[in-house]
């Protein structure tokens, strides 16, 4: 399945289900982020691609003032709803590349992106982040991807056969994917940008049990599955239901892996 940047607008189609279907990031991500950066309220934060507020809520609850920029109007509306109890949080409907920024200069102590950085134009994103940060401010990027630690659920090797049959695999990709400890970080990319000095990399792995319907709801928030033709999607989801129905508890374990990269503005 393609990860073409043109697919970044597809997430708006899953605006209502995204918050409940996608996993929360581990609390340790936020603890490490604040420890590395030394940030404390009332520092102001800028989030890139906030979606419905998945990574906004924990930092809003910690007392930070946040400007959250979201490309999709339906996702931005969901974020406003989910963050309505936090008057110091503003959700802006715009692309990060085109947003003019706040009036009066760069007040932000942190620019951060959770599972959104890969969708931003690589030609401008680091320079754009740097210009929106105060001197010595930080950029933090993390994700949440399918992890394959030792002993991962064999369901995924079995269902991969269906992706291949449908032509929705990625020819040339390693299978299974590398284990979480080999997942690449962005420290080199930060350094090569010329705008940021990498200061920390942290890795996280966790597992979640899913029923067939819970897992299908999750897949419906992924760009490749949203863009998939209905016949292919029906075939895939039918196989997921059939194969999990044969298990005693009807569930699978999907592991998640996250890599946090933090850099300081040069």
Return d(Cα 100, Cα 81) in angstroms, integer: 24
* pLDDT score recorded for residue 107: 86
Mean local confidence (pLDDT), 164-176: 84
Residue 3: its pLDDT value, please?
A: 46
Residue 208 to residue 126: CA distance in whole angstroms: 33
Is it the case that residue 7 has pLDDT exceeding 90?
Answer: no
- For residue 241, the surrounding DSSP H or E stretch is helix 230-245
User: Is 75:11 a contact under the CB 8 Å cutoff?
Assistant: yes
Distance CA 263, CA 32 (A): 13
Domain chopping of the chain, boundaries: 5-146+178-207+255-265
Cβ atoms of 243 and 158 closer than 8 Å: yes
What confidence score (pLDDT) does residue 105 get? 67
Tell me which architecture the domain covering 5-146+178-207+255-265 has in CATH. Answer: 3-Layer(aba) Sandwich (3.40)
- 108 Cβ contact partners less than 8 Å away, ≥ 6 residues apart: 44, 45, 46, 67, 132, 133, 134, 137
Is 50 exceeded by the pLDDT of residue 77? yes
**Chain Cα centroid distance, residue 152:** 21
Residue 78 has pLDDT above 60, yes or no: yes
If we measure between CA atoms, which residue out of 2, 243, 264 comes closest to residue 138?
264
Instruction: Give residue 10's pLDDT.
Output: 62
Under a CB-based contact definition with an 8 Å cutoff, are residues 143 and 49 in contact?
no
> Tokens standing for 22?
């996608």
In this prediction the pTM is 0.92
Q: Please provide the average confidence, as pLDDT, over all residues in the chain.
A: 93
Per-residue model confidence as pLDDT tens digits over 84-141: 999 999 999 999 999 999 987 668 999 999 999 999 999 999 999 999 999 999 999 9
pLDDT at 153 exceeding the cut of 80:
yes
pLDDT score at 2: 38
pLDDT tops 80 at residue 5? no
Please give the pLDDT value at position 1.
Answer: 34
Residue 44 has pLDDT above 70, yes or no: yes
pLDDT at 8 > cutoff 80: no
């Amino acid at each position: 399945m393609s990860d073409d940047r043109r697919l970044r607008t597809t997430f708006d189609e899953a605006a209502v289900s995204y918050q409940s279907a996608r996993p929360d990031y581990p609390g340790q991500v936020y603890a490490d982020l604040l420890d590395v950066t030394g940030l404390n309220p009332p520092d102001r934060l800028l989030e890139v691609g906030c979606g419905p507020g998945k990574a906004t809520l924990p930092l809003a609850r910690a007392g930070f003032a946040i400007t959250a920029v979201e490309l999709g109007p339906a996702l931005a509306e969901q974020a406003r709803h989910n963050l309505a109890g936090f008057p110091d949080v503003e959700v802006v409907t715009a692309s990060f590349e085109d947003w003019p920024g706040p009036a009066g200069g760069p007040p932000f102590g942190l620019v951060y992106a959770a599972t959104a950085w890969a969708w931003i134009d690589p030609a401008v994103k680091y320079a754009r982040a740097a210009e929106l940060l105060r001197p010595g401010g930080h950029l933090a990027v993390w994700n949440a991807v399918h992890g394959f630690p030792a002993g991962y659920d064999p369901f995924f090797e079995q269902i991969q056969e269906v992706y291949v049959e449908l032509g929705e695999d990625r020819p040339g990709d390693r299978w299974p994917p590398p284990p979480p400890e080999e997942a690449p970080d962005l420290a080199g990319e930060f350094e090569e940008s010329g705008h940021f000095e990498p200061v920390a990399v942290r890795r996280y792995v966790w597992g979640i049990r899913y029923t067939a319907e819970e897992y299908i709801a999750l897949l419906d928030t992924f760009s490749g599955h949203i863009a998939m033709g209905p016949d292919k999607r029906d075939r895939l989801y039918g196989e997921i239901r059939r194969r999990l129905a044969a298990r005693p508890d009807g569930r699978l374990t999907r592991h998640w892996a996250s890599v946090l990269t933090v850099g300081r503005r040069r």
